Structures are given as structure tokens and as C-alpha cells.
Amino acid sequence: MANKVAIIASNGGLFDAYKVFNIATAAAASDKEVAIFFTFEGLNLIHKQGMHDLPMPAGKEHFAEGFTKAQVPSIPQLVEMAQELGVTFIACQMTMDVMGLTKEDFVSGIEVGGAVTFLEYAKDASPTLTF
Amino acid sequence: MNITKTVDAKGFACPMPIVKTKKAIDTIQSGEVLEVLVTDKGALNDFAAWAKTGGHTILEQKEEADVLTFYIQKA
């Protein structure tokens, strides 16, 4: 059985962040090796400032109350938890160049790489997930 | 049953109960028993799957007043 999970995070909303980090932390807590490739809007999820204020989808703002009521952890908490559990964060170099971002704009401990870096990791991962 | 450690994850939503349990089980020895208290309804299936993945044994589980309690023996 493959013991690697590969995740592509390509969207930058709050719901996207929960989808990515819930699966990632759950997998890491189940003794899986986990890497997330953050590309395009997905880079928001590990952006030092951006991750604190991720947007809800338009018209879905009323779910904010539900998140509080269900005591769902915040995204920065999940990011920290994921890193504690050994999840590897790979930021897409090309997108960073396009958006004028540097490694310092992101949470510490990330790797920067290209598509091939991710593909090499993901070649024997199961499952590979895209959000 | 000899309980080595207890995890109180009541009130926490997915994935925190599993994350807290994972951290706790790393601190006990093989064969020792972890007691876990949760209120997340998803835990019923999640803990069965998590234990299977790690090779751990759920010795007993009960539900009292919305609190699920699992007794997990470390593999």
C-alpha cells in the first residue's frame, strides 16, 4: 500500500483551505507522508498575511457562524498543525515569479519548486488530490 | 483495563480529534491503552479507519450523553 499522499492546492478561498488542510493533517496523523504543491491562488493558503483572511465564496458568508459554532480550527492553526506533523509545503516557483512573491512572503519552512518537483514526489503517491 | 493516557478532544471538529490522538499515541508504548473522548460524530467511522491504518486495536467504544469514548491499544 502506498504511504504517500500528494495534494495540489490551486484555489485560494477559505473553503479550499479547509479541504486541503483537513485532508493533509488527517493523512499525516495516519502515518502518511504528505506533500502539498501550492500553485496560483493556492499560494494564498500559506501566505503569511493572506492565510489569516481567506475569502468565503460569494453568497456563502453566512457560514462564518457555522465555523465558529462547530469549533473548527482556524487556517493558521491548521497550517501550524500540518507542519508539526511533517507535511511538506512546496510553493510553485513559476506562480511566485508571476505574482512577484518571494519565499519570505510565506510561512517558514516551505520548499520552492516547479512542476517536476511535484510530479517526482507524486509518481508513487496514492491518492493524489487536487483542490 | 489499564489506561495509560487520556485524550480529551470533546468539542473539537475534524481533523483535530485524530490529530490529538495521533500525538498522544506517539507518547505511549506498544500494548498500552489510550482513552479518547470526542463529541465529533464523524469520529465513529474515522477512528475505526484510523486504527485500521495504524494497526491499532479499538478494545472498546461507548456513547454516553453525546460523548464517544474509545479505548485504543497501541500496535
Domain boundaries, chain A: 4-130
CA distance A102 to chain B (A): 30
Cβ burial A62-79 (10 Å sphere, 16+ → b, else e): eeeeeeeeeebbebeebb
What's the CATH number of domain B3-73, 3.60.150.10, 3.40.50.1820, 3.30.110.40, 2.40.128.280?
Answer: 3.30.110.40
Tens digits of residue pLDDT in A22-42: 999 999 999 999 999 999 999
What is the C-alpha to C-alpha distance for residues A82 and B63, in angstroms, rounded to an integer?
A: 30
Mean pLDDT value across chain B:
95
Mean pLDDT value across chain A:
95
How much is the pLDDT for A70? 86
Packing angle, helices A14-29 and B16-25, rounded to 10? 30
Grade residue A21 by pLDDT with cuts at 50, 70 and 90: very high
Catalytic residue among B3, B13, B14, B44: B14
Closest chain A residue by Cα to residue B22: A29
| A vs B: CB pairs below 8 A | 36
Q: State the fold for domain A4-130.
A: Hypothetical Protein Ychn; Chain: A, (3.40.1260)
Q: Which of A25, A30, A81 sits opposite B50 (nearest CB)?
A: A30
3-class SS of residue A2: coil
Residue extents of the structural domains in chain B: 3-73
CA distance B1 to chain A (A): 25
Query: What count of Cα atoms within 13 Å lies in the side-chain half-sphere of residue A54?
Result: 21
B32 given a catalytic annotation: no
pLDDT truncated to tens, each residue of chain B (75 aa)? 899 999 999 999 989 999 999 999 999 999 999 999 999 999 999 999 999 999 999 999 999 999 999 999 999
The C-alpha angle A93, A96, A97, rounded to 5 degrees, equals 90
SS percent in chain A: helix, strand, coil, step 5: 45, 20, 35
Which residue reads 511533517 in cell numbers?
Answer: A86
The ipTM estimated for the assembled molecules is 0.85
Grade residue A2 by pLDDT with cuts at 50, 70 and 90: low
What is the C-alpha to C-alpha distance for residues A9 and A12, in angstroms, rounded to an integer?
A: 8
Across the interface, whether the CB atoms of A73 and B16 are under 8 A apart is answered yes
